[in-house]
Chains A and B, each alone.
Chain A
Amino acid sequence: MNYLLNIVIFFPAFAALLLYVLKGENSRIFAILVASLELLFVVLLWNEFNTNYGGIQFVTHYELISSYNISYSVGIDGISLFLLALNAFITLLALYFFKYLRTPLIIAILFLESIVMGVFSALDVVMFYIFWELSLLPVLYIIGVWGGERRIYASIKYFIYTFGASLIMLIGILYFAYQYFLIMGTWSFNLIDWYQISLDLDTQKWLFLAFFIGMAVKIPIFPLHSWQPHAYTQAPIVGSVLLSAVLSKMGTYGLLRLVLPLFPFTSSNISLIIGLICVFMVVYGAFIALAQKDLKTFLAYSSLSHMGIIVLGIFSLNTEGLSGAVFFMIAHGVVVGALFMLIGILQTRTQTQSLQDVQGIAHSMPQYSSVFGIVMMCSLGLPLTMGFVGEVLSLYGFFQLNPIIAFLAGSSFFVGAIYMLTMFKKVFFGSALPKYTTLKDLNLREKIVFVPILVLIIWLGVYPKPLLTPISTSAETLSRTISAKISLTPTQTHDMENIESLEYPLGNVPRDFDDDGVLFIPRIGE
């Protein structure tokens, strides 16, 4: 079933092309069908996925440019699998939720889904870069054409920021390839090959910086975040949903897939500084959010605050932190997507997204308010919701590194509660404004969207094991690779025989493991 992953990657793009050629009316129904099929494929992929094996599975390798060894090479591990699932899930919900989507917008969304699938499964660095950059174009179109008043400014700002940062990453990629060429004597852009070498400290430092800037803009990390509120606010709500839920995970995924295993030594050296930045991001994002008057900008900053925790978990470099970060990526994706959709409902009903113009919504829309309440609780990390598990694991991971920073970052529970509850009070409680007393509550379509979200939030909050086990298996492989590379003195000697056995083996993955072959996995999160 190795070809399944390729279907997952290219099916939405193919469907979008079809849609472009046919230009049919009612394209939303078609797109919903495509997205459901896509979700089905991803579930099949999950079904076929060997959850006891932490390495790369479903590998497809096809040579493209042989003289530089650039190839179409894809494969997934436990980390990518659930990001694929998140992408398919959110896209389906978004397509179903927004009733009045025009065909061009739907085509862009489907292309975006395809491209993001590619980012999450590329194993060739050039391929990764291609998907990474290509994702700009649909977003540009979604924001620039379908966005709000200042859409052109927002889309160009987004483009310039990410394009520039990615080009810096491109230099890093090419320089790494050249270093690989110097060490190994052959060109290769395959990630698995790149894992085999470790560079000397000085080179590592600069290359880390180049890669990190590329990722940091996309996440975004604190000083590079200024495109984010504009993009999230000006995008149409479906765009905000996809941007915040799926696209922001590309950066954190890039950290996991590229930055940590390629530059383990620098990553571990710099983790405290990044931890401090993350703490700052958490608090800064929360307080800026508190001062916002626009609901979408509010969510943009709250998202910034949460990304701080995810990056913190990633730079803990241990299994708990990594799997917590991945889990939180998924939880954050679901929750922030749901919140943007909820705001979308409010906006269509009241024609405003300003915090000051609405109050007392709970009187006229009780169901809406309770759904909003539950999702919000998950967002601020209430125990027994999905948000709690990831956040706590991320913090626990970093706690092993530096308790003080972890403690400070733990204030996210507290500051999150401040801004979220303040907003909730303003919007939902108090006396209802007369013009909003006749608002309609959730209709059937909206209920259908929020039921699976609520189920996921509660179910994975109570019983996170189905996701957490495969994630932590892969996180374990990752963290062991990192620590093995760190324990080797990263000098000029490139004798990597010692960790040969720990590397991700390419291909030839046994489909079924005997119990003897199963790696020992600590049962975290239970």
Chain B
Amino acid sequence: MPESMSFSLTQLNISLLIPMSISLLGGIVLLGVGVFNKIKSRDLYIAISLLFVIVNLGFLVLEANPLLAPGFFGLLLVDGISLLAQMIMLITTLIILLFFMRQNSFAETQNAEFYALLLFALVGFSFMVSSQNLILILLGLETASLSIYALIALHNKQVSFESSIKYFVMGALATAFYAFGAMLLYATTGSVNLVNIAKFLLEHNYEPSILVFAGFTFLVAAFGFKISMVPFHTWVPDVYEGSNSLLAAFIAIVPKIAAFSVIISVFNIFLKSHNTFVEYTLYTLIILSITLPNLIALVQKDVKRMLAYSSISHSGFVLAAIFVGTQQALEVVFLYWILFLFANVGAFGILWLSADSKYNHSFKSFSGMIKTNPTLAIFLSLFMFALAGIPPFSVFWGKMYLILEVLSADYIFLALAMVINSTIAGFYYLKLVVYIFAKDSNGIGDYQPPLELSSKVAIGICAIMSVGCIFMVQNLLDIISYYLKIY
């Protein structure tokens, strides 16, 4: 808090707020348009949201100054990680909005509040990643989560209410854990700022350890819910199943990268203690997060559930990079997530274009898709190969660098676990491809309206990034290391 009330506005560093305010403004404008504009037009709402998302992205890129920029007396702290995370979230939203432009019969996508909530969720996560203050992190997280609960419920089906409530209850539990963990840390260190907490803990050698590590445990549980770490992952498949495919893609990418960016600084504090409890807990949880969902994904009969479980496994992979914790490993976190983003959003986008209209995502409904809808079938298989990590498609590079970092840190067992799980993952991704290509179609091909330009652009972006990333990995690495150089 300021010592005297005579401070200048420059101290606040208001310019830090500009990017997020744009999305916030976008959400408010959308609500206004939805109320006051007589003609309901989905295209208009999407155009407005796209506009604000693009402007927001533009401000982020132009501002691209990955130096530590504190504002509001240390409440806000915009650094490279925060900028990168915001960019990833915005790009995801951008592609998803492009997919949404398609003519569809979903009630929720016709109204302005859907897009407004999407933007509010973005704003919440942007605040969350731009702070080192435990309270502001919570505030951002809650803003975003509440928007997402509502977004899921808007899908207006029995199953989506169920999943929304499930997500809400789980989220509330996570918030309680978070508040309790933060309280314990505050009780020990007298600060809610992660930088100060880290300093204090290092000076006092992590004493009293019971309080500190209890705080750590609660924080792990809280973030575990958000990034769907085993054993806090049970909501994921239901939520994916309950929401439409694009929202599922949003939930698969955006909240997780936000949580990862916070986790990087939180885990870093405790990993520096080299406490065996911290290391073993994280190590075990990571191995479990990589392995268990993979095995469950094997027996799924629903493609969305399969993708849900596999995304849990993917976030386990990224957690491993955070666990390794070196500078290069942090770069890999973002590289992996960017590559995963395009493959995953592409896959969900194609589910949206093909299966969502039929409300049927079982493997069987994809039988013989190569005959009924060859273009989408080929792209879907491509994204499956990319997700399975077959070289030279996108996720392979993430996995390769990740395993390289894990091996460099001498966690050979972890690397082996990753490889074995990649093989298992190969099986269930392949299962979908087998259904697409090798099984006979179970009926006459449904009428498929031709793809609109926006969908083509969205698929095109995802496909180019998934296939051509062999030529882009170096550029991506350069960009990422530019933003992370102060770490």
Residues of chain A touching chain B, judged by Cβ–Cβ distance below 8 Å, are 64-67, 126, 129-130, 133-134, 136-137, 140-141, 144-145, 151-152, 155-156, 159-160, 163-164, 167-168, 170-171, 174-175, 177-178, 181
Contacts and interface: CB of A to CB of B under 8 A. Distances in A.
A152 B408 CA distance: 39
A156 B407 contact: no
A144 B391 contact: no
B419 A152 contact: no
A268 B431 CA distance: 41
B403 interface: yes
Contacts of A129: 391
B430 A67 contact: no
Interface SS majority for chain A: helix
Contacts of A133: 390-391, 396
B434 interface: yes
A144 B474 CA distance: 35
Contacts of B416: 171
Interface residues of B, number: 32
Given A67-B474, A67-B477, A171 B427 contact: no
B425 to A, nearest CB: 10
A160 B426 contact: yes
B422 interface: yes
A168 B471 CA distance: 25
Given A65-B477, A133-B391, A156-B434, A171 B407 contact: yes
A178 B407 contact: yes
Contact of A136 (B390, B400, B408): B390
A167 B422 contact: yes
Interface string B414-432: 0110011011001100110
Contacts of B403: 170-171, 174
B260 interface: no
Contacts of A152: 434, 438-439
B434 A130 contact: no
A156 B428 CA distance: 10
Contacts of A175: 407, 412, 415
A49 B216 CA distance: 65
B437 A144 contact: yes
Nearest to A179: B407
A160 B474 contact: no
A134 B390 contact: yes
B404 interface: yes
A164 B423 contact: yes
B385 interface: yes
Contacts of B422: 167
Given A126-B400, A140-B430, A175-B407, 14 more contacts: A65-B473, A65-B474, A130-B470, A134-B390, A137-B390, A155-B438, A159-B426, A163-B390, A163-B423, A168-B419, A170-B419, A171-B415, A175-B415, A181-B408
Contacts of A134: 390-392
Contacts of B408: 178, 181
A64 B404 contact: no
Contact of A66 (B392, B423, B474): B474
Contact of B404 (A155, A163, A164, A177): A177
B365 to A, nearest CB: 18
Contacts of A170: 400, 403, 419
Contacts of B426: 159-160, 163-164
Contacts of B478: 67
Nearest to A133: B391
Contacts of A160: 423, 426-427
B474 A64 contact: yes
Given A133-B391, A160-B426, A167-B422, A144 B434 contact: yes
A168 B420 CA distance: 8
Interface of B: 385, 390-392, 396, 400, 403-404, 407-408, 412, 415-416, 419-420, 422-423, 426-427, 430-431, 433-434, 437-439, 470-471, 473-474, 477-478
A130 B391 contact: yes
Contacts of B400: 126, 170, 174
Nearest to A169: B419
Most buried by B among A130, A151, A167: A167
The 7 A-B residue pairs with the shortest CB-CB distance in the complex, in nearest-first order: A164-B423, A130-B391, A167-B419, A65-B474, A144-B438, A130-B392, A174-B404
B30 to A, nearest CB: 41
Given A144-B437, A145-B437, A151-B438, A156 B470 contact: no
Contacts of A130: 391-392, 470
Contacts of B396: 133
Contacts of B431: 156
Contacts of A155: 434, 438
B390 A167 contact: no
B228 to A, nearest CB: 24
A227 to B, nearest CB: 14
A505 to B, nearest CB: 27
A156 B427 contact: yes
Contacts of B390: 133-134, 136-137, 163
B430 A159 contact: yes
A171 B437 contact: no
Nearest to B415: A171
B165 to A, nearest CB: 38
Contacts of A174: 400, 403-404, 407, 415
A171 B419 contact: yes
A141 to B, nearest CB: 7
A136 B437 CA distance: 15
Given A67-B474, A130-B391, A137 B385 contact: yes
Contacts of A126: 391, 400
Contacts of A136: 390
Contacts of B415: 171, 174-175
A199 to B, nearest CB: 14
B271 to A, nearest CB: 21
A144 B439 CA distance: 9
B164 to A, nearest CB: 37
A175 B404 CA distance: 7
B134 to A, nearest CB: 35
Contacts of A65: 473-474, 477
A108 B419 CA distance: 28
18 contacts: A64-B471, A67-B474, A67-B477, A126-B400, A130-B470, A134-B392, A145-B438, A152-B438, A156-B434, A163-B423, A164-B426, A171-B403, A171-B407, A171-B415, A171-B416, A174-B407, A175-B412, A178-B408
B434 to A, nearest CB: 6
Contacts of B392: 130, 134
Most buried by A among B396, B408, B438, B470: B438
Most buried by B among A129, A130, A170, A177: A170
Nearest to B406: A174
Nearest to B423: A164
A123 B74 CA distance: 52
B430 A156 contact: yes
